[in-house]
Structure 1
Amino acid sequence: MSKITRRIGTPPSARGSATGANCPDIFELSDGRFAVIGTDATDELDAHLPSDASRADYERIVVVTRETLMHAKADIPDA
């Protein structure tokens, strides 16, 4: 089972969240994958996926703020 090894980017409290709770976040997992906490937008965006994109029934389309991803950029490995 994978475990969270580190946060990618700054914590929500450093991005202006008053409580640090219920905010988008990105984590690197012990197996090299990434976990994302965001808003489930599957129902809204599924029909708008490009023709060369698809998702499995167990996958969801998750949205994070631009700020969350920009703060994570420096921590995302190149390889």
Structure 2
Amino acid sequence: MTGETCPDLFGLSDGDFAVIGTDRTEELDALLPESAARADCERTVVITRDTLLRAERDIPDA
């Protein structure tokens, strides 16, 4: 509403969550653990710790 841009995490009507963050796919792909996998249609997006901690209270437990 202020015209400023910033990372955000918000719920969608289907129950999923959307994340707005910095696309760092190219930079971080080689650093992902072997147990991590990313499909071609997926990107590695970084949000600040503060953003996630502030959103935590709005994420349902179940």
TM-score computed with the length of structure 2 as normaliser? 0.91
What's the C-alpha RMSD, in Å, of the aligned pairs? Answer: 1.4
User: Which residue of 2 is the match for residue 9 of structure 1?
Assistant: none
Q: % of aligned pairs identical?
A: 68
Number of residue pairs aligned between Structure 1 and Structure 2? 62
User: Which residue of 1 is the match for residue 45 of structure 2?
Assistant: 62
TM-score computed with the length of structure 1 as normaliser? 0.72
User: Which residue of 2 is the match for residue 77 of structure 1?
Assistant: 60
CA deviations on 1:43-69 (whole Å, 9 max, x unpaired) are 111111111111000100000001101
Q: Which runs of 4+ in 1 moved over 3 A?
A: none
- TM-superposed CA distance for 1:22, in Å, is 1.6
CA deviations on 1:2-51 (whole Å, 9 max, x unpaired) are xxxxxxxxxxx8xxxxx452200111011111000000010111111111
User: Which residue of 2 is the match for residue 42 of structure 1?
Assistant: 25
